[in-house]
Amino acid sequence: MAAVGARWHHVWVGTETGILKGVNLQRKQAANFTAAGQPRREEAVSALCWGPGGETQILVGCADKTVRYFSTEEGRFQGHKHCPGGEGTFRGLAQVDGTLITCVESGIVRVWRDSDKEASPNPLLELSVGPGVCRMRQDPAHPHVVATGGKENALKVWDLQGSEEPVFRAKNVRVYDPASPQRRPVLQATYGEYPLTAMTLTPGSNSVIVGNTHGQLAEIDLRQGRLLGCLKGLAGSVRGLQCHPSKPLLASCGLDRVLRVHRIRNPRGLEHKVYLKSQLNCLLLSGRDNWEDEPQEPQETKQASPEDTETDELWASLEAAAKRKLPDLEPPSEALQTRRRKKQRPGSTST
């Protein structure tokens, strides 16, 4: 029974062997999805992002420079788009208004028209941001703005028109306020002796959770730059981190082949742990709130008539679309444009 409605999987994880796994945390089960039926290392997933229109589609960036479209409703890959140019794997993937933005490691950022067919071989827009890019992220409030940064690569914010801001380097967390006239970081905090590989904002409270190559997860307060607490359990380098927008949950995946979900507050600890047999590269956490209706769902799909399931799925997609408007707090990893700082913008100069 491959129940592949959008409600079934809580977390989607991409692996080094090219398998997209949908994980149901209530049942601790994972379902594997591959484009070609067989796992292939050339298709190693390097970037994941939600497609347009609710959480029904996932854009999967693979190591062979293709972006594949995966439908969570149907549970299969629908099409792919070849996005050549530049060298290295995808470091960032975003979609805006029917266009797809891709960024590769050698620094080429391209905007493509989003269509399932490979009919548009040429990108709409192309930028070069410099080599050694580690991350590209989309500003959740301004979908046209992306930030890119990496090793020895200056953190730059692009409005698809380009404007520059200074340096990013591993091991530190630096907060920049793009609205302030100064170029210095607003806050700089260091954690541990190992490079930080993943970062995510916690919803609500002003803190950020970082993970390093040793598998240490730490929550750092953004107002003071001090360490609030650590999360235990990971044994390998942290590759993907994401917080749930409303619940105090954090999903983390790494090279030790285990997906862990921690509870961040009261009490801080491990909620779920699922062993997935391949090395995990990136993850997508579903932002919906109803995680507990799993037991009823399979019975509904079996007993209900087809029309009922269609209306159910319709409701589910409506619900999911409504929830998606909630802040997608997937931050730019380098330029932390926190909400608080934005509110200070009118007429204030922050240090």
- Least spacing, CB of residue 102 vs other proteins, in Å: 23
- Least spacing, CB of residue 56 vs other proteins, in Å: 26
Q: Which is nearer to other proteins, 279 or 309 (CB)?
A: 279
CA angle centred on 213, ends 145 and 46, rounded to 5°? 45
- Least spacing, CB of residue 236 vs other proteins, in Å: 5
| CA pseudo-torsion sign 190, 192, 195, 197 | negative
Q: Tell me 202's DSSP state.
A: P
322, 289 Cβ separation under 8 angstroms: no
- Least spacing, CB of residue 214 vs other proteins, in Å: 5
Our separate counts of H helices and E strands in the chain read 3, 26
CA 69 to chain centre: 15
Structure tokens at 338: 């926190």
Q: Which is nearer to other proteins, 40 or 76 (CB)?
A: 40
Look at the block and give the residue holding tokens 């904002």.
201
Q: Which is nearer to other proteins, 15 or 338 (CB)?
A: 15
Nearest 10 degrees: Cα torsion 192, 332, 90, 107: -90
109, 127 Cβ separation under 8 angstroms: yes
- Least spacing, CB of residue 83 vs other proteins, in Å: 24
- Kind of pairing between the strands at 196-201 and 187-190: unpaired
- Least spacing, CB of residue 62 vs other proteins, in Å: 15
Q: Which is nearer to other proteins, 275 or 315 (CB)?
A: 275
Helices 306-324 + 296-303 axis angle, to 10 = 140
- CA dist., res. 92 & res. 152, Å (int): 17
Q: Which is nearer to other proteins, 206 or 279 (CB)?
A: 279
- Least spacing, CB of residue 156 vs other proteins, in Å: 23
Q: Which is nearer to other proteins, 213 or 337 (CB)?
A: 213
Binding site for other proteins (CB under 8 A): 17, 19, 32, 38-39, 41, 170, 193-195, 197, 213-215, 232-233, 235-237, 255-257, 275, 277-279
Q: Which is nearer to other proteins, 183 or 232 (CB)?
A: 232
